[in-house]
């Protein structure tokens, strides 16, 4: 794939993406079209986005062609889990030096790929370009092709230098690598009438397993996962699925839309967070296959799961009822987590609209009501102001916001990719309730809010 201006523009202006600026709509979110500014990664660069998308392919090796910092800064930062191989956890980099920049790094890259193949025997090797190797003009395609011809192992170039754009663009560049080099490259031994792909789910803290277990009970086979707990070969087979289920994010809309065009595979957009969203997802999948028995099984399983979940949630709902939450996350989670929190009896007083589509914002308004606050930007100063204004009991956000919560002296729960607990599906709902309770009722907050002994002395003197 040649990373041209036309290709980047095509990925930024996906016709089916709600973020798209060129659809003729008014007031669209500009997240996709923003170009990175010097000194600002905008929540992650294109390289980071591509690695987020592809690294969860568990039996592949992921080699970063660039300075070691590019690999180190993002390595192991997401809690994507595997049920099999752990090769994806290995951090490989060419660690280019000043000499490589001057004389070129292609020979070093070739040797590195060969070394990875000989020492680790991966199913495939993904090779990522970075800002420096793209600027000096190293030909990833030629190097990867040379290795493939000699060693007969798939070596996939991923053209994702950080300077081309944001993390969201990088997600799509990773998806393009799958479309051009992986999907459709092999045929499965057999297919069923109920094969689906899950697109845009990365198995953070193993939360996909709670959903795939339900799908197995229904008799639905997940043929390809893109890319949580995925094997390379499974993604090769993805073109034989009957339906793509795209989870929560517009990040891989190019994969879903391209597969619809090329392989005639329709897609639906769903969420695994919250009781209503999880149930709706299962019903929509069953509805797509138009099988009366499958629809009946789906309703029975939903009823069983909700009954079991409600029994487990009862003590948590009593403790969490009326607690006020400020939520700062991105995309569809900005409303799907609101729905989940409200199901626990909590009141979400503010949520972010970062990376949210117009449809997302409409849902947020409906869920929060007229008094709810929608945060377009959530810098620490703004979050502290909102926490004070709303008298919030809890901040739920990404890991880097925990210090803001500490400054406000309120509990904090990590909702983003660094977390270690699964929140998706019915089981995830119980886990989320447990974590919320532990955060809110931790005894540390009584200590933190007390006046310090030295301040008490000063008050007594006055």
Assess whether the region 5-181 and the region 321-419 belong to the same CATH fold: yes
Assigned token pair, 34:
């923003």
Q: Rounded to an integer, what distance in angstroms lies between the CA atom of residue 68 and that of residue 138?
A: 17
CA 230 distance to own-chain centroid: 14
* pLDDT at 234 exceeding the cut of 50: yes
Averaged pLDDT, 314-325: 94
Give the distance, in angstroms, between the CA of residue 93 and the centroid of all CA atoms in the same chain.
23
With a pLDDT cut of 90, the percent of the chain lying above it is 62
Tell which CATH classification among 3.40.50.2300, 1.20.1250.20, 3.30.1360.170, 3.40.50.12380 matches the domain 195-303.
3.40.50.12380
CB atoms within 10 A of CB 141: 12
Instruction: Over range 246-261, report the average pLDDT.
Output: 86
Q: Are 235 and 57 in contact (CB under 8 A)?
A: yes
Q: With bands split at pLDDT 50, 70 and 90, how would you rate the model's confidence at 40?
A: very low
* Spatial separation of the C-alpha atoms in residues 133 and 162, rounded to whole Å: 11
Beta strands in 174-307 (DSSP E): 195-201, 221-227, 243-247, 267-270
Asked if residues 53 and 46 have their Cβ atoms less than 8 Å apart, the reply is: no
The CATH number given to 5-181 is: 3.40.50.1980
> How would residue 459 be classed by pLDDT, with cut points 50, 70 and 90?
low
Q: Domain 321-419: which topology?
A: Rossmann fold (3.40.50)
Sequence spans of domains, the chain:
5-181, 195-303, 321-419
Q: pLDDT for 320-365, tens place per residue? A: 999 999 998 876 677 778 888 888 999 999 988 776 666 677 777 8
With bands split at pLDDT 50, 70 and 90, how would you rate the model's confidence at 242?
A: very high
- Alpha helices by DSSP H, listed for 40-166, are 46-54, 68-74, 98-103, 106-120, 131-135, 140-151
Instruction: Give yes or no for a contact between 172 and 158, defined as CB atoms under 8 angstroms apart.
Output: no
pTM of the model: 0.86
Find the largest Cα–Cα distance for the chain. 83
Q: What is the pLDDT of residue 274?
A: 83
Report whether the peptide linkage leading into residue 74 is cis, meaning its omega lies within 30 degrees of zero: no
**Helix axes 208-218 and 425-440, enclosed angle (nearest 10):** 150
Above 60 in pLDDT, residue 25?
Answer: no
DSSP code of residue 57: B
């Amino acid at each position: 794939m040649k990373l041209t201006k036309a290709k980047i523009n095509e990925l930024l202006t996906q016709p089916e993406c709600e973020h798209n600026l060129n659809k003729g709509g008014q007031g669209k979110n500009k997240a996709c079209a923003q170009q990175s500014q010097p000194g600002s990664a905008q929540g992650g660069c294109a390289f980071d986005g591509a690695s987020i998308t592809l690294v969860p392919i568990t039996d592949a090796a992921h080699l970063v062609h660039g300075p070691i910092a590019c690999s180190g800064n993002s390595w192991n930062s997401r809690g994507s889990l595997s049920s099999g191989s752990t090769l994806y956890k290995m951090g490989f980099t060419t660690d280019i030096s000043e000499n490589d920049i001057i004389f070129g790094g292609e020979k070093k890259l070739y040797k590195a790929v060969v070394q990875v193949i000989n020492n680790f025997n991966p199913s495939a090797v993904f090779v990522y370009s970075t800002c420096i190797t793209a600027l000096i003009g190293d030909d990833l395609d030629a190097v990867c092709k040379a290795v493939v011809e000699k060693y007969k192992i798939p070596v996939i170039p991923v053209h994702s230098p950080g300077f081309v754009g944001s993390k969201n663009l990088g997600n799509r560049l990773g998806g393009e690598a799958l479309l051009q080099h992986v999907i459709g490259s092999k045929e499965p031994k057999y297919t069923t009438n109920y094969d689906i792909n899950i697109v845009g789910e990365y198995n953070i803290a193993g939360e996909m397993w709670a959903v795939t277990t339900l799908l197995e009970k229904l008799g639905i086979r997940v043929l390809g996962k893109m890319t949580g707990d995925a094997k390379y070969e499974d993604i090769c087979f993805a073109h034989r699925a009957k339906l793509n289920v795209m989870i929560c994010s517009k990040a891989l809309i190019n994969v879903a839309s391209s597969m619809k065009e090329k392989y005639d595979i329709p897609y639906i957009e769903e969420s695994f967070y919250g009781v209503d969203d999880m149930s709706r997802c299962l019903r929509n999948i069953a509805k797509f296959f138009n099988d009366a028995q499958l629809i009946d099984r789906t309703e029975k399983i939903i009823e069983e799961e909700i009954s079991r979940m409600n029994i487990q949630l009862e003590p948590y709902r009593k403790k969490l009822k009326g607690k006020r939450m400020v939520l700062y996350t991105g995309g569809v989670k900005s409303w799907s987590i609101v729905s989940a929190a409200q199901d626990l009896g909590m009141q979400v007083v503010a949520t972010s609209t970062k990376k949210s589509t117009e449809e997302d914002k409409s849902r947020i308004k409906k869920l929060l009501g007229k008094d709810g606050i929608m945060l377009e930007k959530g810098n620490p100063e703004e979050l502290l102001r909102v926490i004070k204004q709303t008298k919030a009991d809890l901040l739920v956000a990404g890991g880097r916001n925990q210090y803001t919560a500490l400054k406000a002296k309120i509990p904090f729960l990590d909702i983003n990719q660094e977390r270690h607990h699964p929140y998706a599906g019915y089981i995830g709902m119980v886990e989320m309730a447990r974590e919320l309770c532990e955060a809110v009722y931790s005894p540390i907050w009584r200590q933190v809010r007390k006046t310090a002994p030295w301040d008490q002395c000063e008050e007594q003197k006055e």
